[in-house]
């Protein structure tokens, strides 16, 4: 992301949402954390831009947007009612579905509408997607996921079985 550290404070003061979104790609974790916090403080316009970014052709940016939307829940930021439906929709994108599942899990029971999609993801060919789905289902805690998680205990991949078992421990 260049040689210079982005001035997050200036970007936040000027409400430069795109500049803050670009800062999310920085290798420095503290810069990314400051950018996420600033986007949360800006609120609605930042959230709308992040939701738009879920559909970007640049899949690295889409993944960063999904992650950031999940971080809003994790940090206790004000929850926008558009976020969960946008993340549910992004589960259809094979490139960003893992980060979208992780983000949905951070919303807990607010993301119950995602449960049927996450259950389908337990059978995905990508074990990382399966693991993310199991973890999200455990965090959401909807009892309708229990049979699918029990079925995932028989998966051939040990990591998937462990994720399913840990998810079931949350019930």
Condensed to tens digits (0 to 9), the pLDDT of residues 82-136 reads 899 999 999 998 889 999 999 999 999 999 999 999 999 999 999 999 999 999 9
pLDDT value at 4 more than 90: no
Torsion of CA 78, 82, 84, 89, to 10 degrees: -160
Q: pLDDT at position 38, please? A: 87
Let me know how many helices (H) and strands (E) the chain has, helices first: 11, 0
* pLDDT on residue 31: 87
| pTM, entire model | 0.82
What pLDDT is recorded for position 80? 74
pLDDT in tens, 49-79: 889 889 888 888 888 889 888 887 776 666 7
Give the Cα separation of 124 and 73 in Å (integer): 25
Residue 81 reports pLDDT greater than 50: yes
Please tell me which residue, 57 or 153, carries the higher pLDDT value. Answer: 153
The second-level CATH assignment, the architecture, of 80-168 is: Alpha Horseshoe (1.25)
Q: What is the pLDDT of residue 166?
A: 97
pLDDT value at 1 more than 70: no
DSSP 27: S
Mean per-residue pLDDT, 11-31: 88
The answer to whether the beta carbons of residues 139 and 105 sit under 8 Å apart is yes
């Amino acid at each position: 992301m260049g040689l210079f550290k982005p001035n997050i404070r200036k970007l936040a003061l000027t409400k430069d949402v795109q500049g803050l979104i670009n800062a999310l790609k920085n290798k420095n974790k503290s810069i990314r954390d400051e950018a996420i916090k600033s986007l949360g403080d800006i609120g609605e316009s930042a959230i709308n831009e992040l939701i738009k970014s879920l559909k970007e052709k640049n899949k690295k940016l889409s993944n960063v947007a999904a992650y950031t939307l999940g971080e809003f829940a994790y940090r206790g930021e004000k929850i926008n009612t558009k976020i969960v439906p946008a993340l549910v929709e992004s589960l259809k994108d094979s490139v960003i579905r893992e980060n979208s599942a992780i983000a949905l899990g951070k919303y807990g029971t607010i993301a119950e509408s995602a449960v049927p999609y996450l259950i389908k993801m337990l059978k995905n060919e990508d074990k990382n997607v399966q693991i993310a789905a199991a973890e999200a289902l455990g965090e959401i805690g909807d009892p309708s996921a229990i049979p699918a998680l029990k079925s995932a205990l028989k998966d051939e991949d040990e990591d998937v079985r462990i994720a399913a078992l840990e998810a079931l421990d949350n019930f």
